[in-house]
Every structure is written in structure tokens, then in C-alpha cells.
Structure 1
């Protein structure tokens, strides 16, 4: 990819279980290559356990791991230039509980992401309603409020922090306006 002229590599490997040592080894190997070529290494990350150890319990009942431990998230974050939390598909039924979840995810991620790694919180730029994603609750406005709250609580001066729309080809004008209205960050 780098030989083809790309400026970096982004991995979105799913499902990926918390604690996967092969993944960490892969990131170490890729990091050596990207650093040697002055390129970026970026990954999409599962959400962090809202309660420590919950990923172990959830793994007993589902084939797809929903969460990583905060420790594993930090191990991944230390190996990359950019990490994007997939902070959607949460099954939260209310806008307020979804926003609170994003605030918690933002704080948990900031606590273990080095200041040299760019942390991005994913925004739901799509609409669907099912058990894992209630469109009336998982709004861009709620995600932006949650990210701002988590950032202000945990690391308000963080330089390498932002929001990442997923998936922009399905985005509506409402998604974009909620993003623009909710995320007017002053620039230095």
C-alpha cells in the first residue's frame, strides 16, 4: 500500500477479541514499516468495557466481541498513530443514555491513549433501527455532546482528539448539521 503511494494504513479488523497478542504483534510489525517510511498507522477499535471484565462475560454469549478491556485498548493505542473508537451500535434506547455512553467511552479511551496518538470518537452518520442501533437514540448530536463531555472531564487540553463520521456515504444533511453545530472547536 505504501509503495502504491498511500500515506498510511488503516486497519478495521472485526471481530477482534480483547487481549489478542497476535494483533499486537501485527501492529508492532506494521509500525516498524510505517515508521521507516514516515507513514501513518491507524486502526478502528472496539468499544471499551463499560464495566471491567464485561468483555469476558459477553464473550460467553456472543460470537462477536463487543468490547475490549481498557488495558488492551491502551496497548493498541500505544502502537499506532491514530485510533478510532467505533462508538455506535450500542443498543442504548435513549438519546441521553447513548450520549452518556459516548462520554464514558471518551473518558476511558483518553485515560489510556498517549498524547502522541490521535484519538477519534466515531459518529453514527447513518440511520437504522434494530436491537443494536436505535436510530432515534444514536444521533450525531448525542455523540458529539458525549464526546465533548468526556473530553472536558478527562483531558480538555488534549491536542490530538477529534470526531470521525461513520459512514459518510449514508450521511444525511441532519447528520452534518448536528456535527457542525455541536463541534465548533476553536483553532489556535
Structure 2
């Protein structure tokens, strides 16, 4: 308690009485308007923070429990590979090293970075001069593994625009173009992409029509809203949050052979919260993706710290634990994890993948 000072006015002297005359230009209705506005501001600031706090508790609880013994690889896993495989930087030594990493695991698909698209959806062949060699060498060294052309671009203002019919035309033509290099499929990646985007659906439908029979169509997709209200709260507190609805994911997935949820860059600060987040994403995706489409949960194997990625939290171990908890006893065979990305993955990442996810039986 502060000591009383005689030279300070009493509280009654500092505050005007309720029936005191208002300041010049001030009216009772204006004072009420200011109070209402202040209350609205407090609510708008406090509500998102409260939602995020409650969600943190929920995600921690989701991370508890013991994974089912049957929640292990089904031999449908994938790895994203960098551009060095198609531009000539990688050769036979790198093929042998990758094969040693993957042999005996559940990896069946490789997404090889062949783009990026130009912003108009075109792609110069000069960007992937060794794509044919890479596809052949990887398949020969890892029999049964399928090699896909990974094509993507940012959808930020001034970059690619999927609302443009001309851009969509070019994307589809590019998909047909890269298939002549001998790939087993096309793997798209467009970010950030709002839930409900109709341009994407058009691209997928038309790409399916131009792919040769037996070739695969796949896509990396955004995370689902893990808890009601979290998308709105995240947008108010953190900015744009491109979280998808389960309904939109279902519409997208039924057009695909494989869909990979990019379950990383979550801004979760601890392994416990990250495991809970991955568990929730896995469980939601299992209800949205039809069994006819292979569902892959993206797991991080990169270590650069950013405000959305805390390497000490988003670990391979925490991610695989979340996947196993979310999968539970679901027996579907068309399920796996996708490792991002080969050129940053460490020996510890691969050891964690093998130890915690296992090898196919």
C-alpha cells in the first residue's frame, strides 16, 4: 500500500461524479459508445488467446496414452526428395546412399522435386535435364519403388493464381510434359491454399484426364482445423491460417491416388503438444479421406528453427508417436507417413523412423 500524501487529491476529487457535468463536446451517449467499444476490443483480444490456451490443454491431453502395437508401417510410406536428383548434382553415389537408407523400410513412393512451376504454370525442361536418369536409377536400385514428379509453386499475391484459367491450362499441360521423362506419377504442392478453392479441384480433374493409364496423382495438402474455433483464433492472433475443413479434404482426396497432410510447421513449442497435434490431425484425416485413397501423414526431418517450426518440439519421435496414437487400431492398408525432406534428414531421423514406425512385416 502506498503511503498517503497530502498533496495528492483524494480519489473522489480526481474522478467526476456520475451526475457531474460532462466535458465540453462529451455526451452521455458518446461515453456509453466508448465503453461498448472498449468492451468489444477486450473481448476480441481475449477470446482468441483463451481459445489458444484451451486448445493447448486439449492437445496435451491428446498426446497422452500408449500407441497400439498394430500402429506400424503398412509399406505405403513416402519421402520428398530435393531438386538435386533431376538437375545433375546427384549421381550414382547418392542413389546408392539413399537405397541403403530406405532398403528394408516401408517406403514405396518418392516425390522428386522437378519444378517449381513458373508463375504462369509452365515449366522449362532445362530445370530437370536428368529426370529420366533419376527415375530409372532409383527404380532399378529400389525395386518396387515409384518415382513421382513433385511440382509446386507459391500462391502468394504476385505469384501463381489458380483462379486464372490460362494458368490452370498450363499446369495441366506441364503435368503431361513431365510424364515423358518416365515418372510414375505427378505430385502437386500449392501453398497457401484456402479451404474450398475450386481452382484446385479443376486442376486435379483435368490432370487425371491427361495422365497415362496406371500413373498416379497425388497432392500435399494443408492441415485440418484441429479444434473448433482454432482457425479463427489463429487468424486473429497469428495472421492467415490456411486450415482446411474435413469436407474440402474429402472432395480433394477422392480425386487422388495419394494425399499427404503436411503435419509440421505447427508452431507447437513442446514435443507433448506436437504429438497431440499430430494425433488429432491423423484422426481427423482418417475420417475424411476415403480408404480408396492412400493417406500419408507428413513427418518432419528438417531442423531449421523458425517461428512456426521448433526443432526441439517437432521431432521424428514426437511425430511418429502422434501418428501411432491417431491411427490406433485402424486396419486400413492404404496409410503411411511421408518424410520431409531427404537432404536435411539426419541419421538420427532415419533411426527414429525405423525404431518407432518399424519395417513392414
TM-score (norm 1): 0.90
How far 1:71 moved relative to its partner?
1.1
> What SS does the corresponding residue of 1:168 show, helix, strand or coil?
coil
Question: How far apart are the structure 2 equivalents of 1:27 and 1:152?
Answer: 31
> Aligned pair 1:47/2:223, yes or no?
yes
**Higher normalized strand content (fraction of residues):** 1
How far 1:186 moved relative to its partner?
4.5
How far 1:74 moved relative to its partner?
1.2
Question: How far apart are the structure 1 equivalents of 2:208 and 2:228?
Answer: 28
How far 1:59 moved relative to its partner?
5.0
For residue 345 of structure 2, the aligned residue among 143, 165, 171 is 171
> What SS does the corresponding residue of 1:11 show, helix, strand or coil?
strand
CA contact (8 A) 1:106 1:150 kept: yes
Worse-superposed segment, 46-55 or 97-106: 46-55
Question: How far apart are the structure 2 equivalents of 1:150 and 1:45?
Answer: 18
1:6-56 CA distance string (max 9 Å, x none): 11100001111110011111111112223x522100100100011246445
> Aligned pair 1:24/2:201, yes or no?
yes
Question: How far apart are the structure 2 equivalents of 1:139 and 1:75?
Answer: 31
Judged with a 3 Å threshold, the aligned counterparts in structure 2 of structure 1 residues 76 and 57 are, in CA distance, closer, same or farther, namely: farther
> Aligned pair 1:184/2:358, yes or no?
yes
> What SS does the corresponding residue of 2:219 show, helix, strand or coil?
strand
> What SS does the corresponding residue of 1:110 show, helix, strand or coil?
helix
Structure-1 residue corresponding to 2:6:
none
After superposition, residues 146-161 of structure 1 pair within 5 angstroms as 146-152=322-328, 156-161=330-335
How far 1:58 moved relative to its partner?
4.4
After superposition, residues 2-13 of structure 1 pair within 5 angstroms as 2-13=179-190
**What RMSD in Å do the two structures reach over aligned CA positions?**
1.7
Question: How far apart are the structure 1 equivalents of 2:272 and 2:213?
Answer: 44
CA contact (8 A) 2:195 2:242 kept: no
Question: How far apart are the structure 1 equivalents of 2:309 and 2:318?
Answer: 13
Bigger-Rg structure (1/2):
2
For residue 81 of structure 1, the aligned residue among 246, 249, 257 is 257
Worse-superposed segment, 49-58 or 72-81: 49-58
Structure-2 residue corresponding to 1:138:
314
CA contact (8 A) 1:84 1:122 kept: yes
How far 1:158 moved relative to its partner?
1.0
Gaps of 5+ in 2: 1-177
Question: How far apart are the structure 2 equivalents of 1:30 and 1:71?
Answer: 21
Structure-2 residue corresponding to 1:90:
266
How far 1:2 moved relative to its partner?
1.8
